[in-house]
Amino acid sequence: MTNTLHRWSEHYAVERRSDVPPVADDYVVFAMASRNLNDDALVDKYRTFARLALRHDPVNVGDATKGGIYRPQPRLNPLAHWRRDNRPDPERVVNDVEGHTTMAAVFSTFEDMEAFVKDLRDADLGVSINISAPMDAARRCCQGAGIRRHSVEYSLGFQGRVERLPDRAVLEIGTMCGHGMVSHSLVKKLLDWVKEGRRSPREATTYLARFCICGVFNSARAETLFDKARTGTP
């Protein structure tokens, strides 16, 4: 089970369009252990997962109890709006792993994801590995890594009174946090600010990424979506 299945895209709309190409910039790989079953030396296993991910240019790596490479800071003042350190800190993710959690790595290309999964196969960590991606991409990745896929979970899309949902741009960015920690109202505000030139797509993205506690927010895709909103690109 993964909370990333419902990342909004054109494919999840009620009126699906056949001319929309598959998602090609959003691939998530999870590592999860079961308590008292395969959790021996768990900190080392999870740190190895994170270090292997960092070899393959991930856009985010996260520990579900601590956060991803962009994290909130406990002590700020009003000057933070201009002087805040927006640099990612992947080493902090690795060093802060303490025990039971869920680890995640997010990639913007299929090739990076596949190379990472091959490394995981060779490392044989002994924990469950879950790929959250378009089904064909997940299948090709497993075949390329020489892994037999265990099971498949489908997303049935968004149903019900979808007319009450925010607009598509807000949904595409906001649903990249599967726990709903990225406020749709904040996404809308930042979209307006980017269009007005008050924030850059990169700044808006790093603001939002800090709220996603499990670190599965795809900052590269979010930046692209902000840039498209800025330029009016469909």
The tens place of each residue's pLDDT in the chain, 234 residues long, gives: 567 887 866 545 544 555 566 778 999 999 999 999 999 999 999 999 999 999 999 999 999 999 999 988 777 777 776 777 788 999 999 999 999 999 999 999 999 999 999 999 999 999 999 999 988 899 999 999 999 888 888 877 777 888 888 888 899 999 999 888 999 999 999 999 999 999 999 999 999 999 998 899 999 999 999 999 999 887
In a domain, 124, yes or no: yes
- How much is the pLDDT for 230? 92
What's this model's pTM, rounded to 2 decimal places?
0.90
In a domain, 93, yes or no: yes
Contacts of 178 (CB under 8 A, 6+ apart): 2, 3, 4, 5, 6, 7, 214, 216
In a domain, 2, yes or no: no
Separation between Cα atoms, residue 109 and residue 86, nearest integer Å: 23
Expressed as residue numbers, the domain containing 83 is 10-231
In a domain, 182, yes or no: yes
- How much is the pLDDT for 58? 97
- How much is the pLDDT for 17? 54
In a domain, 25, yes or no: yes
Separation between Cα atoms, residue 140 and residue 118, nearest integer Å: 12
216 beta partners: none
Number of structural domains, the chain?
1
Q: Return left, alpha or beta for 113; rule: phi > 0 is left, psi -120 to 50 is alpha, else beta.
A: alpha
- How much is the pLDDT for 16? 52
Q: Report phi then psi at 162, rounded to 5.
A: -65, -15
Do 214 and 66 form a contact (C-beta atoms < 8 A)?
Answer: no
- How much is the pLDDT for 14? 44
Q: Which helix (H) or strand (E) holds 61?
A: strand 60-63
